[in-house]
Structure 1
């Protein structure tokens, strides 16, 4: 698997985060063993949450923009 970022892959960031967070040979979903590891995982998940929230906001804005364009086109279309 390539370490390069691929914008066409929506899960690339998550996959990269999970690979870097998991030591070689360890299973990714084993319970953390120390407070520091728990805090690190919380921080990583908050980064992912922020990224997803930002993408959700951009998606909502794109939908609203397209709805406004549709309404403008409908309003400017000559009546039959």
Structure 2
């Protein structure tokens, strides 16, 4: 570890790793892109968003189905006195 490591800083190790991995002046999270590249990536992310929304709907439906099954079982269970 470097001499300027501060254990009280939770991001010190991450910052040190990023500084050693990228050349000076480079932006590690925002590479330069053309307008076509941005449009292509936005389209890809919209496809992923649609897929995730569909899966969330299926998951919600399955949860509701299980809740209904649980309620039906509770209604059919004989009441103990």
**TM-score, scaled relative to structure 1:** 0.61
Query: How many residues are paired up?
Result: 53
Unaligned segments of structure 2, at least 5 residues: 1-28
Q: 1:64 to 1:32 in 2, by over 3 A?
A: farther
SS of residue in 2 equivalent to 1:78: coil
User: Which position in structure 2 is the counterpart of 1:40?
Assistant: 40
Rounded to whole Å, the distance in 1 between the matches of 2:56 and 2:32 is 29
- Divergent runs of 4+, >6 A: none
Rounded to whole Å, the distance in 2 between the matches of 1:48 and 1:77 is 43
Rounded to whole Å, the distance in 2 between the matches of 1:32 and 1:54 is 32
User: Which position in structure 2 is the counterpart of 1:9?
Assistant: none
Rounded to whole Å, the distance in 2 between the matches of 1:32 and 1:43 is 18
Rounded to whole Å, the distance in 1 between the matches of 2:57 and 2:36 is 32
Rounded to whole Å, the distance in 2 between the matches of 1:67 and 1:38 is 43
Tell which structure's C-alpha radius of gyration is larger.
Answer: 2
Unaligned segments of structure 1, at least 5 residues: 1-28
